[in-house]
Structure 1
Amino acid sequence: MHRRDFIQGAALLGLLPLVGNAGAALAAAPRNGRLLPVPLNPGDTVALVSPSSATDERLNLQLATEVLQALGFKVKTGAHYAARRGHLAGTDAERAGDLNTMFADDEVRGIVCVRGGAGAARLLPLLDYDAIRANPKVLLGYSDITALHCAILARAGLVTFHGPIGAASWNAFNVDQFRRLFFERELMRYRNPVDAGDELVPRKNRTLTITGGKARGELVGGNLSVLVGLAGSPYLPDFDGRILFLEDVEEAPYRVDRMLTTLKLMGALDRIAGFIFGDCTDCDPGEGYGSLTLDQIFDDHIRPLGVPAYRGAMIGHIREQFIVPHGGQVEMDADAGTFRMLGPVFQPG
């Protein structure tokens, strides 16, 4: 074990509170100092919370509940999950309070975010990281929920899950991902399914190698714009030796370039071991004289790093998406356009 990893792991364990479920939290900590959530099983109670934007249609709240029930769960809703304050699902205190309550609730085994949007970063100073450490459980969401994934990993050391929100499409692909990961505890291998259809060669779900090779490390990242918005705060995880995965939506290429420039200037890109880019949905240049292409932007910022890198993974604002462990150990193969989990991401039992 490297000295840095030993120090980081010891520091994390030293911060664990000796109250409540601290014994379980200690038992859940793997050798790299990360906390693993309790596993999920059909019949468990799962909470629905709204830490970001408000939901504009009541039907979406109903659908989120029905999805979890169809997966076999009992559902408990946050006190303010249907609230609204401007574009937000309630005040900061209300939204943070719902999260803190559900982490502390012994009946609740997992937490699913109704939707993303904006506003989760406002909650980060209000979260009870001691309670999260003492009650490690599944947290699922993506997009704006990136702020929660990053902060909870940085401040509590808990592995969380980047994947569909409650109000998203729960198509056969997403349901299969969920059941294999959470119910069967499969060590997932993430490879895009490719179907040529009526094309001579497949076009859908293709990956593109930026720099070939394999790398191992802890998987961190999420939505690019949300992650960059945490720059300079204590809520970003460490990038040393990590596999960075990113995605975004409705960002012009010049803004993608600006955000990757920020990661470069803050030293994050120079420390990663590998890079996986998902989908950049509706990231067209728009009107104007000209624009860098995404290929050129990755050539400028990622290729010079010399680390394994590829783009096109099924991560992002897309209908079918991988559910990946944020903070879990993975191995990536940039030539094959795949990555796989290296170990369990749940507590035993």
Structure 2
Amino acid sequence: MSHPPLLCSGDTIYITAPARALPIDEVQHAIRSIEKFGFKAVVGSTIGTSFHQWSSADWARAADVQTALNNPEVKALFMARGGYGCVRIIDELDFSPLHKYPKWIVGFSDVTVFHAHLWSNFRIVSLHAPMIINFKENTEESIQSIFHQLLTGKGSLSGTVGLPGVAQGPLIGGNLSVLYSLLGSKSFPDLRGAILMLEDLDEYLYHIDRMLYALKRAGVFEGLAGLVVGSFTNMHDNQVPFGYSVSDILLHHFAHRGIPVAFEANIGHHTDQRAFIHGADAVLEVDSIGNWQLRWQLT
């Protein structure tokens, strides 16, 4: 495992939109927050532009991300928003500059493509965190969690609903739908010995079950050390109900594995979500009545 250096006051943060578009006026609040925390914000060429449902054509989005990867002054890339688009450019990017100019990749949702790809191919950690579009609406604690972890390299979450056990391993995961879409590619992470974090948005309940069955049948859950369940927001059902909640579905797939499972983690598509360091060494402890604590840090 390798990780970028922790940020220092005055470091440069580059804002780019590798997926959907974000108008320039919607970036200003985030820039003020970045500056308040003592950093310099640089806006990339994909901010304030649009091409169909994306910020720019594939080549232009890739070029903007590559510009930041190549720049030795840039210490972190803050992704503007998700949606869909990261997978269209991931194979066009040259990540080799990160060996010489390491930097943090920051975002979530569709940015799960970047987190998974960096871990799978280079064992580089990154930050699963709110994005530029979230700065205005998210809670102060949510935004603070981004900078706290970029400055300290550690974090924690806790809750009161879980299945007992103890697990230790790298904290891996993100958006379930995006991970599912990477199955069979060089970007899908090896989950053996890992603590898997999952969240999702705007899916049908049976889709959640189908994705988990596909992952299970592919064998990727074999050797999994633990599971942490974030928010599954705005789930849908059919006119004929599926019959099981998200929790029911997850218990069906993981309760028999004898691993600790933590529910209701403050991760995902909601305004108080917290950041976590993807790939960091983590410990998950769930007691006999379901109280759990998750801690992670860079080593």
Q: Does TM-score exceed 0.5, indicating one fold? A: yes
Say if 2:221 is the partner of 1:269. Answer: yes
* Residue number among 340, 345, 349 corresponding to 2:295 in the alignment: 340
Superposed CA RMSD in Å reads 1.6
Runs of 5+ consecutive residues of structure 2 not aligned to the other structure: none
Shift of 1:186: 5.6
User: What does residue 145 of structure 2 align with?
Assistant: 177
Q: Deviations over 1:205-252 (max 9, x none)?
A: xx421x211100011100000110001111112111111100001112
With 75-84 and 269-278 compared, the bigger mean Cα shift is at 75-84
Residue type of the alignment partner of 1:231: L
Q: Separation in 2 of the partners of 1:234 and 1:101?
A: 23
Q: Superposed, which structure 2 residues align to 1:92-103 within 5 Å?
A: 92-103=58-69
Q: Deviations over 1:78-108 (max 9, x none)?
A: 1223221111111111111111111110111
Q: Separation in 2 of the partners of 1:43 and 1:342?
A: 23
Work out the percentage of aligned pairs sharing the same amino acid: 29
Runs of 5+ consecutive residues of structure 1 not aligned to the other structure: 1-33, 193-206, 345-349
Q: Indicate if the aligned counterparts of 1:269 and 1:305 stay in contact, CA closer than 8 A.
A: no
Residue type of the alignment partner of 1:341: W
TM-score normalised over the length of structure 1 = 0.80
Shift of 1:271: 2.4
Distance 1:131 1:68, change over 3 A: same
Larger fraction in strand: 2
Say if 2:143 is the partner of 1:150. Answer: no
TM-score normalised over the length of structure 2 = 0.93
Q: Deviations over 1:53-100 (max 9, x none)?
A: 112x44312223222222221111112232211111111111111111
* Residue number among 193, 201, 208 corresponding to 2:161 in the alignment: 208
Q: Separation in 2 of the partners of 1:124 and 1:44?
A: 25
Q: Indicate if the aligned counterparts of 1:136 and 1:158 stay in contact, CA closer than 8 A.
A: no
Residue type of the alignment partner of 1:311: F
User: What does residue 201 of structure 1 align with?
Assistant: none
Distance 1:337 1:286, change over 3 A: farther
User: What does residue 161 of structure 1 align with?
Assistant: 127
Distance 1:258 1:112, change over 3 A: same
Q: Indicate if the aligned counterparts of 1:315 and 1:322 stay in contact, CA closer than 8 A.
A: yes
User: What does residue 68 of structure 1 align with?
Assistant: 34
Which of the pair has more CA radius of gyration? 1
Distance 1:141 1:289, change over 3 A: closer
Equivalent position SS for 2:55: coil
Q: Indicate if the aligned counterparts of 1:215 and 1:274 stay in contact, CA closer than 8 A.
A: yes
User: What does residue 322 of structure 1 align with?
Assistant: 274
Shift of 1:284: 3.7
Distance 1:151 1:130, change over 3 A: same
User: What does residue 155 of structure 2 align with?
Assistant: 188
Q: Indicate if the aligned counterparts of 1:100 and 1:131 stay in contact, CA closer than 8 A.
A: no
Q: Separation in 2 of the partners of 1:191 and 1:176?
A: 17
Residue type of the alignment partner of 2:280: G
Q: Separation in 2 of the partners of 1:52 and 1:129?
A: 18
Q: Which stretches of structure 1, 4 residues or longer, exceed 4 Å deviation after superposition?
A: none
Residue type of the alignment partner of 2:161: L
